[in-house]
């Protein structure tokens, strides 16, 4: 793994992360005027953007171009994309504001924890729980974005059930990051 140069800033994986980041405002526009057609388009755009998350990581590792900029941009793009959609679904009545507020607070708290840990020389990598949390957030957001019933499928109900699971995983994984940090920090200071 190499650190990368200025020329590496816009390599293919980083470009995919940047596209994902720029998808957030597109989703704001699509979700601003919801209707059956725009909801399906928004869900498709969101899902495609989420797939770039997997693709950029795969390409960065396969091509051996993991960069510091990419390590910063990738999680930023993920958080902004997912949080933007959660927030846009509040006024549409598809997600409860209190739940979204706690999800956003958890994201900010874990990001802050990682910054403090990095300053202390401790790396907090994504945990399996954190990865499951992200998958469940995406899994709940797609049907919540679609919202309208199609082919006899109640997407809002499916999304709501998945949202509860995603919320629980979000809170548990957040607590796990803090537990791991304090456990590692106490062992480091022993």
The CA-CA-CA angle for residues 115, 98, 48, to 5°, reads: 65
Residue 2's pLDDT is 46
Residue 5's pLDDT is 52
User: What whole-number distance in Å separates Cα of residue 33 and Cα of residue 190?
Assistant: 56
Residue 190's pLDDT is 54
User: What whole-number distance in Å separates Cα of residue 91 and Cα of residue 131?
Assistant: 28
Residue 117's pLDDT is 82
Residue 185's pLDDT is 72
C-alpha separations of 60 from 32, 56, 73, 135, 140 in Å: 34, 6, 13, 20, 27
For each successive 10 residues of the chain (190 residues), what is the average pLDDT? 55 87 95 89 96 84 78 85 96 96 95 84 79 95 95 95 97 91 69
Report pTM: 0.87
Domain range summary for the chain, segments of one domain joined by +: 6-189
User: What whole-number distance in Å separates Cα of residue 124 and Cα of residue 138?
Assistant: 22
User: What whole-number distance in Å separates Cα of residue 8 and Cα of residue 92?
Assistant: 40
Owner of token pair 């005027």:
33
Residue 189's pLDDT is 61
Q: Residue 34 is inside which H or E element, if any?
A: none
6-189 fold? 1.20.120
- Is the distance from CB of 124 to CB of 179 less than 8 angstroms? no
**3-state secondary structure at position 150:** strand
Residue 8's pLDDT is 60
**3-state secondary structure at position 153:** strand
């Amino acid at each position: 793994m190499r650190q990368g140069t200025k020329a590496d800033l816009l390599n293919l994986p980083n470009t995919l992360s940047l596209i994902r980041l720029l998808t957030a405002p597109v989703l704001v526009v699509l979700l601003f005027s919801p209707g059956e057609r725009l909801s399906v388009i928004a869900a498709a755009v969101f899902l495609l953007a989420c797939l770039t998350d997997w693709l950029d990581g795969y390409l960065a590792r396969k091509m051996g171009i993991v960069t510091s900029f990419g390590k910063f941009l990738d999680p930023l793009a993920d958080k902004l994309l997912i949080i933007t959609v959660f927030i846009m679904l509040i006024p549409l009545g598809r997600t409860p504001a209190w739940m979204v507020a706690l999800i956003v607070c958890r994201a900010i708290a874990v990001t802050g924890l990682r910054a403090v840990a990095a300053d202390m020389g401790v790396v907090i990598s994504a945990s399996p729980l954190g990865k499951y949390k992200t998958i469940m957030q995406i899994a709940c957001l797609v049907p919540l974005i679609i919202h309208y019933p199609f082919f006899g499928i109640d997407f809002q109900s499916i999304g709501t059930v998945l949202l509860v699971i995603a919320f629980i995983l979000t809170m548990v994984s957040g607590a796990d990051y803090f537990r791991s940090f304090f456990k590692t920090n106490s062992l480091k200071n022993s």
